[in-house]
């Protein structure tokens, strides 16, 4: 494990306990609230509605707390009244429910504290209407903070008729029931009574306030600022929707215009360049009007005028983040935190920026600090999980996502993340369940459909995977992930068109690593080696190789190596290491000095095979520096060598082998095998150690090897390196053929012994696994069966291995058909071996024993 991961483990060592404590506290709270729900207290009050009906002066109807309070407001829109505003505060995050009764023709909108509409009863309001339906059914989550309800008439309804209504708000159960009767204001006694002209101006002023205050950045001071204006004294209305120049060219406004001929306090604030409040409001207006650059200029002026104003820094940080100016946003958030260290929202936002900037360690620290301030934020737990996943701390990430779901079981993002994690672990069935739950909550979430498609393809459910991809692309035609998965599905089916989908994915997201990687494999498989090797370099970013390592020395890019030292490091499995090792001798010939790092079990074999190189065992992840230092001039991952040494099929040398076993052990294994006898000694293996659901289609269990095992005159030797004793016994009983194993040979860990055994065999039959790769690297005849893949490089063979013959199922055939052709070839080879043995002078090998027990034979079991 690297220092980075070690640091993360240290940093989040208490994370699991924190998660458990958070879950326990939440469950306890739920139990207490449920117990208290049996005795409901009722409270009633009558208030006069605010005469101006402005959002900043909305009528307060109380505090909404999950499983604690229910808020009811009963009132009416009097004749000629345009709008009612009610404000309330949410103290615990949860799913809110809104009930409404009353006269027809009313429109209800739920808004954030700063005026952004998040739910609207008007069917023409698109996603806001969908949110309102969710609110009616108790499926809309509200975070903590202040909100307001806006009640007005539907378009086309007469203002001359009064409209009665009652609205109810609730989160779960309740123990306290608040009824608020909001009466019409007593206009005769109101000190804020306006003239008819001022009243006519109020509808436009409401729009202005909504425009100015609809940027939500989680600070409380801004509402206090808006509420502090003496709006009833306005004699002119600077409407930002009509005064475009106000947001961009403040200094060009004429003096008379800036001061507002009637000297209103509103215009004095807006047009005075020395007033931070005015520049702040102008920034809000510019942001609302979709002019982020102008907004940032106003907010920069705000913080210059009043450097200690937290709201100004919060607005600048938010505007910078929305504009993609991550560095300026991070600086603003850092300043905000210096002013308000306990601002959890700022910590969480800064953590998001750290993650975007590629610094997940810092993101984890800040998310953890934010949760220490408030552990009830489901979104922050979800984002913490994302940052932990970036660091490779998958177990902690999953725990964080589960905590988010305890807090908010309906959070689609957390469900999707957990489903994605299960998919990455090849637990495709579990992934599908989680992702379907997420999609039930967010049916239009295109990215979730894309993740589900990949999980379905991993299960082999290709038709369903294709439907999920196309469902995702209906909502987001340029989404790279489902485009890429469609290419994989077409590839798995063996149909044309896979390249088209990979190309579309690369157009949609030119830097998409998995799309580039898959396109690269397709190019290699088709023989386009130059393009293929270039895209194959994306394997690390695509998650198709080990962790990419960083060094203090540059990577070799194919320049001359004379007089240079080169460090070659392993990156994938043992089978891939055998294949890429075919390039090592060429690198040694070109460079002045080569250091090869290999899997520790291969050290003796590689040291003997590459005597002019320095061969070292790969160091474990734990203890590695984030940026490694090695005693060489250049470095290169082993899988990148072919890009510079195998640019075409003519670059593959006619070498029969490049790995050489220990001669003493070869002699020892030969003596053991001589005791078995037989005309043809064949080593067999039938699966890979990495048996994912996605790869199962490439292998056949030993129970289906009947045609091969029935070939007469063949002695079979086991080379399968995992726990296969029971399978061998069942196959022997079923087919009546012994399968031998060498005594005291660990096929998984003793590669010296395995190489010596393999060298003494006449033939090896295996699918795509390390057994076939080792046999080919040793120059032993090997028959490899399975689908065609990128390592064929557009040819009918695998040019890496001169001693290898490949058997592919034809289009529409099962894999067993290829094994059947191998069986036919094996019978012919065995017959030739018998004929050659009969004609050869000297003593013949003893006949194969009728039983497995033989005084000279290898033991069935390893000891």
Name the burial class of residue 149, with classes exposed (0-12), middle (13-18) and buried (19+) by CB atoms within 10 angstroms of its CB.
buried
> Please, what are the domains in the chain?
41-185 (2.60.120.380), 221-477 (1.25.40.10), 565-651 (3.40.50), 663-839 (3.40.50.2000)
Q: Pick the closest to residue 724 from 745, 701, 708 (CA basis).
A: 701
Largest CA distance in the chain: 129
Q: What's the CA gap between 229 and 216, in Å, rounded? A: 20
- What is each CA distance from 280 to 24, 217, 230, 297, 744, in whole angstroms? 43, 13, 17, 10, 79
Residues 524 and 521: their CA atoms lie apart, in Å, by 5
Q: What are the residue ranges in the chain where pLDDT is below 70?
A: 1-39, 50-57, 114, 185-274, 621-625, 689-697, 837-863
Instruction: For 146-199, write each residue's pLDDT tens digit.
Output: 899 999 999 888 888 888 888 999 998 888 888 888 877 644 433 333 333 333
Q: What is the pLDDT of residues 432-446, one digit of tens each?
A: 999 999 999 999 899
Question: What's residue 624's pLDDT?
Answer: 65
* DSSP 3-state of 639: helix
- Give the side-chain half-sphere CA count within 13 A for 8: 26
Tell me which residue of 685, 820, 671 sits closest to 739, measured CA to CA. 685
Name the region of 122 (left: φ>0; alpha: ψ -120 to 50; beta: rest).
beta
The string of DSSP codes covering 273-328 is: TT-HHHHHHHHHHHHHTT-HHHHHHHHHHHHHH-TT-HHHHHHHHHHHHHTT-HHH
- The side-by-side arrangement of strands in the sheet containing 41-48 is 41-48, 176-183, 69-77, 163-170, 94-102, 140-142
Residue 808 has a pLDDT of 93
Give the model's pLDDT for residue 295. 84
Q: Quick one: 32 exposed, middle or buried, by C-beta within 10 A (0-12, 13-18, 19+)?
A: exposed
Position 357 scores a pLDDT of 84
DSSP string covering 701-740, please?
-GGG-HHHHT-TTEEEEE---SS-HHHHHHHHHHH---EE
Q: List residues bridging with 14 in a β-sheet.
A: none
What is the per-residue pLDDT for 853?
Answer: 33
Contact 414, 385 (CB under 8 A): yes
Measured CA distances, 347 to 142, 314, 402, 781 (Å)? 20, 11, 21, 62
The C-alpha atoms of residue 616 and residue 569 are separated, in whole angstroms, by 10
Please state whether beta strands 69-77 and 163-170 pair in parallel, antiparallel, or not at all (unpaired): antiparallel
What integer pLDDT is reported at residue 16 of this predicted model?
Answer: 59
pTM, whole model, 2 decimals? 0.63
Contact call for residues 114 and 213 (beta carbons, < 8 A): yes
Q: Using alpha carbons only, what angle is made at residue 796 by residues 792 and 797, rounded to the nearest 5 degrees?
A: 60
What is the helix (H) or strand (E) element at residue 637, kind and residue range?
strand 634-637
Q: Enumerate residues 6+ apart whose C-beta is below 8 A from 445.
A: 412, 416, 438, 439, 475
Strands 94-102 and 163-170, bridge-based pairing: antiparallel
- Cβ atoms within 10 Å, residue 209: 20
* pLDDT at position 270: 52
The pLDDT of residue 843:
35
Helix then strand count (H, E) for the chain reads 34, 21
226 and 208 in contact (C-beta within 8 Å)? no
- pLDDT recorded at residue 623: 57
How confident is the model at residue 183, as a pLDDT?
Answer: 78
Structure tokens given for 96? 């809110």
Do the Cβ atoms of 377 and 348 come closer than 8 Å?
A: yes
In three-state form (DSSP H/G/I as H, E/B as E, the rest C), the secondary structure along 213-266 is CCCCCCCCHHHHHHHHCCHHHCCCCCCCCCCHHHHHCHHHCCHHHHHCCCCCHH
- pLDDT for 272: 58
pLDDT at 152 (0 to 100)? 92
Q: How far apart are CA 529 and CA 815, in angstroms?
A: 27
Q: Which two tokens stand for residue 303?
A: 């913080």
Torsion of CA 288, 292, 295, 301, to 10 degrees: 170
- Residue 423's pLDDT is 86
**Distance (Å, whole) CA 554 – CA 552:** 7
């Amino acid at each position: 494990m690297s220092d980075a991961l070690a640091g993360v483990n240290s940093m989040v060592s208490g994370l699991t306990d924190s998660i458990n404590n958070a879950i326990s506290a939440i469950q306890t709270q739920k139990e207490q609230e449920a117990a208290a729900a049996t005795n409901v207290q009722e409270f009633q009050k009558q208030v006069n509605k605010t005469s101006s009906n402005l959002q900043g002066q909305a009528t307060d109807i109380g505090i909404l707390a999950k499983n604690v309070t229910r808020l009811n407001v009963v009132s009416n829109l009097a004749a000629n009244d345009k709008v009612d505003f009610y404000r309330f505060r949410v103290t615990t995050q949860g799913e809110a429910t809104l009930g409404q009764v009353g006269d027809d023709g009313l429109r209800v909108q739920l808004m954030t504290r700063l005026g952004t509409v998040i739910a609207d009863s008007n069917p023409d309001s698109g996603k806001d209407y969908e949110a309102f339906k969710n609110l009616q059914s108790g499926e809309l989550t509200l975070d903590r903070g202040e909100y307001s309800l806006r009640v007005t008439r539907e378009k086309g309804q007469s203002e001359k008729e009064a409209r009665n209504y009652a609205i109810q708000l609730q989160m779960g159960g309740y123990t306290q029931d608040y009824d608020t009767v909001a009466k019409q204001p007593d206009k005769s006694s109101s000190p804020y009574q306006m003239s008819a002209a001022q009243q006519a101006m109020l509808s436009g002023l409401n729009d202005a306030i909504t425009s100015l205050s609809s940027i939500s950045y989680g600070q409380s001071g801004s509402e206090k600022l808006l509420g502090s204006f003496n709006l009833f004294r306005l004699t002119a209305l600077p409407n930002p929707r009509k005064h475009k120049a106000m947001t961009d060219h403040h200094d060009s406004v004429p003096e008379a215009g800036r001061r507002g001929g009637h000297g209103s306090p509103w215009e004095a604030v807006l047009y005075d360049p020395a007033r931070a409040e005015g520049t702040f409001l102008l920034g809000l207006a510019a942001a609302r009007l979709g002019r982020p650059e102008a907004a940032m200029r106003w907010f920069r002026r705000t913080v210059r005028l009043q450097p200690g104003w937290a709201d100004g820094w919060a607005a600048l940080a938010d505007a910078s983040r929305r504009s993609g100016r991550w560095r300026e946003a991070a600086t603003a958030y850092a300043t905000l935190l210096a002013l308000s260290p306990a601002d959890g929202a700022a910590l969480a936002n800064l953590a998001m920026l750290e993650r975007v900037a590629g610094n997940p360690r810092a993101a984890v620290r800040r998310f953890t600090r934010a949760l220490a301030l408030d552990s009830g934020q489901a979104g922050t737990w979800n984002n913490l999980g994302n940052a932990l996943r970036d660091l490779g701390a998958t177990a902690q990430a999953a725990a964080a996502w589960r905590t988010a779901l305890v807090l908010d079981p309906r959070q689609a993002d957390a469900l999707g993340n957990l489903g994605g994690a299960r998919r990455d672990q090849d637990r495709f069935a579990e992934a599908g369940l989680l992702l379907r739950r997420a999609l039930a909550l967010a049916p239009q979430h295109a990215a979730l459909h894309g993740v589900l498609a990949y999980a379905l393809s991993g299960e082999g459910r290709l038709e369903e995977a294709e439907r999920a991809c196309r469902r995702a692309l209906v909502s987001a035609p340029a989404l790279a992930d489902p485009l890429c998965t469609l290419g994989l599905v077409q590839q798995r089916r063996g149909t044309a068109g896979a390249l088209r989908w990979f190309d579309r994915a690369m157009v949609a997201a030119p830097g998409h690593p998995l799309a580039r990687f898959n396109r690269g494999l397709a190019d290699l498989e088709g023989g386009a080696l130059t393009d293929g090797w270039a895209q194959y370099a994306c394997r690390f970013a695509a998650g198709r190789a080990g962790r990419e390592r960083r060094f203090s020395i540059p990577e070799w890019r194919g320049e001359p190596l004379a007089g240079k030292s080169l460090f070659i490091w392993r990156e994938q499995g043992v089978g891939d290491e055998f294949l890429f090792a075919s390039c090592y001798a060429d690198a040694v010939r070109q460079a002045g000095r080569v250091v090869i790092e290999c899997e520790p079990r291969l050290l003796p074999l590689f040291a003997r095979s590459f005597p002019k190189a320095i061969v070292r065992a790969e160091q474990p992840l734990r203890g590695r520096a984030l940026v490694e230092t090695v005693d060489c001039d250049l470095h290169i991952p082993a899988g990148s060598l072919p890009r510079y040494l195998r640019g075409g099929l003519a670059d593959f040398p006619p070498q029969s082998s490049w790995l050489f076993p220990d001669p003493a052990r070869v002699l020892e294994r030969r003596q053991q095998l001589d005791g078995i006898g037989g005309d043809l000694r064949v080593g067999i293996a039938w699966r890979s150690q990495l048996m994912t659901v996605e790869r199962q289609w490439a292998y056949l269990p030993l129970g289906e090897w009947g045609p091969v095992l029935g070939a007469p005159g063949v002695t079979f030797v086991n080379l399968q390196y995992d726990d296969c004793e029971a399978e061998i016994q069942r196959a022997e009983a079923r087919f009546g053929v012994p399968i031998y194993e060498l005594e005291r040979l660990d096929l998984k860990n003793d590669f010296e012994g395995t190489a010596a055994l393999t060298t003494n065999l006449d033939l090896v039959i295996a699918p795509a696994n390390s057994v076939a790769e080792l046999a080919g690297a040793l120059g032993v005849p090997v028959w490899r069966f399975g689908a065609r893949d990128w390592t064929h490089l557009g040819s009918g063979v695998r040019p890496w291995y001169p001693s290898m013959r490949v058997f592919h199922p034809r289009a529409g055939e099962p894999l067993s058909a290829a094994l059947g052709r191998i069986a036919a070839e094996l019978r012919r080879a065995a017959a030739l071996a018998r004929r050659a043995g009969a004609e050869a002078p000297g003593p013949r090998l003893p006949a194969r024993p009728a039983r497995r027990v033989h005084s000279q034979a290898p033991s069935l079991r390893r000891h």
